[in-house]
């Protein structure tokens, strides 16, 4: 449960970073 939750959070963080890098602000 905890491990799975942490994994999801990491994936979300990576996705957010990818989106930020994709679109320059």
C-alpha pair distances (Å), 8 with each of 2, 5, 21, 25: 10, 5, 20, 26
User: Into how many domains does the chain fold?
Assistant: 1
Q: Is the pTM of this model over 0.85?
A: no
- What residue numbers bound the domain in which 25 lies? 1-25
The answer, yes or no, to whether residue 1 has pLDDT greater than 60, is: no
Alpha carbons within 13 angstroms on the beta-carbon side of residue 10 total 6
At residue 23, the pLDDT reads: 63
The answer, yes or no, to whether residue 25 has pLDDT greater than 70, is: no
Report CA dihedral (7, 11, 13, 17) to the nearest 10 degrees: 150
């Amino acid at each position: 449960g905890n491990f799975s939750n942490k994994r999801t959070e990491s994936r979300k963080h990576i996705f957010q970073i990818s989106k930020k890098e994709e679109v320059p602000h």
